[in-house]
């Protein structure tokens, strides 16, 4: 499911239920997601107050009073929902009266706020891991992540620098979390379209021979900022799995200009092109060959 905007929406949705509340009870209903849970996973969570809920790239990070950090990744199909009230009365087993499919409810946090926070993930590409805060810098999952695309340090100069020596397409470079951390297939396609840059273009063409950013690099950074901010404002994109934590859908999918729009007319005024699709590095690329150069 989730690229940066969806993860950010989930973070905001979980804040009310989790920040400042204690994890009264935690359950991992299977022994693994993408990776096995740590043996002491539940023990390190129960009784801990969540002092803050942050995001790095596509990771959610819950700060615990113990000094641990709970790292959570949604993979392709992970989602959280917050259930308030009635279910809390249910003793023992983690159970909710709402009549939905619970087959893939894999993790539950019962919070002192009175809310149950439930992680559902059919494909189980998601995972959770507890790390001591003072060991975050050595965490392999986080090491090597590039800049936050909405952060201050991400600008045309930096993007040009990290693309300068790449021997790959611009599309592949933007999907590489070492270059910029948080974009996925949808928002890369949309940003390239908005910047009118071809996904096939060599990544290195964002920099001059001296390594200075080209106008293309500036356009691309502007487009990335715009598309991410608009997507966050729209609650993210709901294609299959993404839900806000209150169960509502995001609606940025209605604003896609190329993603999943193969065969449709290009929306750029006066272009008259047709949105095409092809495969790059095993992933679908959607673009307008006429206006993206």
Partner DNA sequence: CCGCGGGCCTGAGAGC
Partner DNA sequence: TGCTCTCAGGCCCGCG
Active-site choice (22, 44, 58, 243): 58
CB closer to DNA, 46 vs 139: 139
Active-site choice (98, 102, 265, 283): 283
CB closer to DNA, 26 vs 174: 174
User: Among the candidate windows 11-19, 112-120, 151-159, 172-180, which touches DNA by CB under 7 A?
Assistant: 172-180
Is 129 considered catalytic here?
Answer: no
**190 lies in the site for DNA, by CB under 7 A:** no
**153 lies in the site for DNA, by CB under 7 A:** no
Strand order in the sheet with 105-111: 23-28, 105-111, 115-120, 79-84
Is 58 considered catalytic here?
Answer: yes
Specify whether the CB–CB gap between 228 and 3 falls below 8 A. no
Specify whether the CB–CB gap between 201 and 144 falls below 8 A. no
**57 lies in the site for DNA, by CB under 7 A:** yes
Question: How far apart are CB 251 and DNA at their closest, in Å?
Answer: 11
**199 lies in the site for DNA, by CB under 7 A:** no
Is 218 considered catalytic here?
Answer: no
User: Among the candidate windows 40-48, 111-119, 122-130, 190-198, which touches DNA by CB under 7 A?
Assistant: 122-130
**147 lies in the site for DNA, by CB under 7 A:** no
> In the set 169, 198, 244, 245, which binds DNA (CB under 7 A)?
169
> In the set 197, 221, 241, 244, which binds DNA (CB under 7 A)?
241
> In the set 2, 13, 147, 235, which binds DNA (CB under 7 A)?
2
Question: How far apart are CB 114 and DNA at their closest, in Å?
Answer: 28
**105 lies in the site for DNA, by CB under 7 A:** no
Secondary structure in 3-state letters for the chain = CCCHHHHHHHHHHHHHHHCCCEEEEEEECCCECCCECCCCHHHHHCCCEEEEEEEECCEEEEEECCCEEEEEECCCCCEEEEEECHHHHCCCCCCCCCCCCCCCEEEEEEECCCEEEEEECCCCCCEEEEEEHHHHHHCCCCCCCCCCCCCCCCCHHHHHHHHCCCCCEHHHHHHCCCCCCCCCHHHHHHHHHHCCCCCCCEHHHHECCCCCECHHHHHHHHHHHHHHHHHHHCCCCCCCCCCCCCCCCCCHHHHCCCCCCCCCECCCCCCCCECEEEEECCEEEEECCCCCC
> In the set 53, 156, 160, 172, which binds DNA (CB under 7 A)?
172
Distance (Å, whole) CA 260 – CA 135: 40
User: Among the candidate windows 80-88, 110-118, 152-160, 178-186, which touches DNA by CB under 7 A?
Assistant: 178-186
> In the set 48, 113, 237, 257, which binds DNA (CB under 7 A)?
237
Interface residues with DNA (CB under 7 A)? 1-3, 6, 34, 57-58, 73, 75-77, 103-104, 122-125, 140-141, 166-169, 172, 175-177, 184-186, 236-242, 250, 281-284
């Amino acid at each position: 499911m989730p690229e940066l905007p969806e993860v950010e929406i989930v973070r905001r949705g979980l804040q009310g239920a989790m920040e400042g509340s204690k994890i009264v009870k935690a359950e991992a209903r299977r022994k693994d997601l993408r990776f096995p849970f740590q043996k002491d996973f539940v023990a390190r969570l129960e009784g801990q107050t969540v002092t803050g809920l942050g995001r790095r790239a596509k990771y959610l990070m819950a700060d615990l009073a113990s000094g641990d950090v709970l790292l959570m990744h949604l993979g392709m199909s992970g989602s959280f929902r917050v259930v308030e009230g009635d279910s809390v009365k249910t003793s023992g087993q983690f159970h909710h009266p709402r009549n939905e499919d619970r087959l893939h409810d894999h993790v539950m946090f019962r919070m002192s706020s009175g809310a149950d926070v439930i992680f559902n993930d059919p494909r189980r590409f998601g995972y959770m891991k507890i790390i001591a805060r003072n060991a975050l810098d050595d965490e392999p999952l986080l090491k090597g992540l590039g800049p936050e695309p909405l952060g201050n340090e991400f600008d045309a100069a930096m993007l040009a620098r990290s693309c300068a020596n790449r021997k790959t397409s611009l599309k592949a470079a933007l999907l590489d979390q070492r270059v910029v951390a948080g974009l996925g297939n949808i928002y890369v396609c949309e940003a390239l379209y908005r910047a009118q840059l071809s996904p096939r273009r060599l990544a290195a063409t964002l920099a001059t021979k001296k390594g200075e950013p080209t106008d293309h690099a500036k356009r691309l950074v502007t487009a990335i900022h715009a598309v991410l901010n608009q997507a966050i404002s729209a609650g993210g994109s709901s294609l299959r799995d993404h839900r806000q934590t209150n169960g509502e859908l995001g609606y940025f999918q209605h604003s896609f200009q190329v993603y999943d729009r193969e065969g449709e007319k290009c929306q750029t005024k006066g272009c008259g092109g047709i949105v095409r699709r092809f495969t790059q590095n095993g992933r679908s690329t959607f673009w307008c060959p006429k206006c993206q150069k």
